[in-house]
Structure 1
């Protein structure tokens, strides 16, 4: 990883822009900043094989620290700085970093260009014993996070997949990156792709439609990437002029609700595409133009997918998991993604929901994604989640004119068979999300949000 990242940092001239927010960072300034951070980290004892947890808020500083660590040969453990001390303690116990790099003082979750840093050494940390140089955690949308390792080879292959993907950002183009910096796409499809291909990354001051539109208009961006909720917000407050320079936009992390894609297309005159992948594998399909829907596109180069017994599996050389949690997801060279799917006549992958979305209620099969779609079809409902914990319970988000639980039950009764009906429908202002932007599907977390 040391050699690969060092090469990426040398590819473009000093005056070529690479990051923009309120100010712009050039490749020359980035090289200087990374070298400076690397010197400070080395002085603190970080070197080849060191394990370092990065819990710096979204910023130029965070990106520079990650790159600096890789130029030292360290293992980067990517943590979400918004997590509570209890959540952070769980991830520290699982990953056991030797060092923690964090921002000094208090910080929010919004993008800020610079932070002062503190590097702490942990007495219980252990060095890297495997080739993995990036460690991430699963989204935790359904339960305890899994510890996932990516080797240098795995990272390089994914960056090459993005480089060869039709419609992806190219040299000189400006890409507004709304994805989390702790997630796979933010790091590989965002940061490393930009360094590899000469793409200029733009960061928004916040996540509201107005802030995103302002950033897009100011920097006249060519592409916008994010998660479905970003495009739902943009669709709800259309400003075609703000996105007039945008040639394409696509979402990842979770399936794009068809109604959001349709609403966005009506408001802006072009379609949102989709990227499908997992933390374990990185990106697997990418339909930038959004013309393959209902499929999420054909498998990207250098990936092998199959559907066996209705479940999507991916060929991998080795297990991506650093800890055995007792669940057999990887066997005989194939990783079970947990997604149900099928291939269409053109070879596109059509996702049919999560494998755990099929439940049995009183002897009959119920697809929770069908229940969610019915709930979401209510004109006052923005988002919906259905979970099964002995009975089907549903959660919906709605604005000021929120429907009552009784109204939602009546709505479902008119559209679903009796055995499919949710036992309860909880109406909330917003639904909880993971750090990567996915809707939480853990029944206990949802119950706590009531």
Structure 2
């Protein structure tokens, strides 16, 4: 991989040459996307210039902010690059948020323009859609901060946080990816499954792919068969980027064809249930890599060859330490907009709220689950992550969430009929009595965030229970 050296990144109010230098540079005939029709770099540049004109006509100016409420689409990509290329701040709002959530975000962040679909989008299972946009003027105010992008955290354990990252920060992460062994390289394909509104799909997928000359291929639909078809549609090496939910889709394919071009699958997000990872590896015979990161920082560590599971190696330039059993990551400034958040960031260290340890000899980082997963039952310490992992090994369990709600409670999603009594009997052989869930609740579908993470909020789980 090429070492691209240091990139000088001007402030958002002074233009954004970094977009041309880091994301749009390269031969005009290079294919950036296959949707399924190819979009080459020359066409992408033209579309971005057209979007800049539309934004300018709506009142958008350098130093301003544009809120993008768009589904995964070429319109999202070109508007995002146009905002940055115009020297502005992009506020990314997941198109699946409610009108109330969007209104609250816009009232707080006060963008100059709001870009949304011209009419409601019926995307169904599509991973990329065609959409006509409406660019509406909202205010004449400049952006409240110099951040290039503003994102909302996924909210899997509570309310979303508003997080800002500078252009320099984004470029540093893109270049960090180029130093990680096992990432796709020029001439290869990336089967892109995560939402580009959130950090894994945005930086690990879109921005890195554009920078590295990797062809980005969203499958036609979000199904296991469609993902397999996307891999098989080309001869160049293909990496699938997704979250554990997507591994489950691939694992559900009954008899996948031979796929010599399938290089690996890389997953971010929560730990992969043992039964799901085993089923995936048995069917496809390729490495199941792991990536650990946060919206506030981006990629923190990786294990792309599956050599250290469940441990990861810190990404180049990332400092990780464990303090009182909690992982912390060095970040020079608070990533949170508005007032700083001393409980989460202080003196350059960001608390991840993840339990873990750092091996002093190898530097490997082992993530033990959420810090709030450590509970006391009858004076005995119980790690709910361990319980959840064990529940996930039971036959028929497709997904599980274990929480402490006065007592240990397991919420389960099954892929075959099993009674709670039978499952409890099997657990009795695997877990000490004080660790076993007192209650097993079986749901047709476990609640998930917009990024596909399992929701762990007990109020939401209770409401979802029949």
Into which bin does the TM-score normalised by the smaller protein fall?
Answer: over 0.9
**Superposed counterparts of 1:317-332, under 5 Å:** 317-324=332-339, 328-332=343-347
Contact 2:110 2:143 in 1 (8 A): no
Q: How many residues align?
A: 447
- 2:192 matched to 1:177? yes
- 2:135 matched to 1:119? yes
- 2:396 matched to 1:380? yes
Deviations 1:390-444 (A, max 9, x none): 2222211012x33233333333344333333323221112212111221111111
Matched residue, 1:224:
240
Q: Give the 3 Å change call, closer, same or farther, for CA 210–240 of structure 1 in structure 2.
A: closer
- 2:81 matched to 1:102? no
What is the CA distance between 1:224 and its match in structure 2?
1.1
Query: What is the CA–CA distance in structure 2 between the aligned matches of 1:443 and 1:133, rounded to whole Å?
Result: 35
Q: Give the 3 Å change call, closer, same or farther, for CA 313–195 of structure 1 in structure 2.
A: same
Deviations 1:140-182 (A, max 9, x none): 0011001111011111110010011111111111111111111
Contact 2:127 2:222 in 1 (8 A): no
Deviations 1:354-383 (A, max 9, x none): 101111233322211122122212201111
Deviations 1:1-30 (A, max 9, x none): 511112235411221100012211000000
Among 264, 268, 272, the residue aligned to 1:248:
264
Contact 1:398 1:427 in 2 (8 A): yes
Among 85, 105, 109, the residue aligned to 1:71:
85
**Superposed counterparts of 1:5-404, under 5 Å:** 5-109=19-123, 110-123=126-139, 126-220=141-235, 221-237=237-253, 239-241=255-257, 243-296=259-312, 298-324=313-339, 328-344=343-359, 345-399=361-415, 401-404=416-419
Query: What is the CA–CA distance in structure 1 between the aligned matches of 2:84 and 2:423, rounded to whole Å?
Result: 51
Query: What is the CA–CA distance in structure 1 between the aligned matches of 2:105 and 2:209, rounded to whole Å?
Result: 29
Q: Give the 3 Å change call, closer, same or farther, for CA 242–79 of structure 1 in structure 2.
A: farther
Provide the secondary structure at the position in 1 that maps to 2:148: strand
Contact 1:214 1:242 in 2 (8 A): no
- 2:425 matched to 1:410? yes
Gaps of 5+ in 2: 1-11
Q: Give the 3 Å change call, closer, same or farther, for CA 112–265 of structure 1 in structure 2.
A: closer
Query: What is the CA–CA distance in structure 2 between the aligned matches of 1:174 and 1:237, rounded to whole Å?
Result: 21
Provide the secondary structure at the position in 2 that maps to 1:148: strand
Contact 1:213 1:242 in 2 (8 A): no
TM-score (ref. length: structure 2): 0.91
RMSD: 1.9
Query: What is the CA–CA distance in structure 1 between the aligned matches of 2:408 and 2:141, rounded to whole Å?
Result: 43
Gaps of 5+ in 1: none
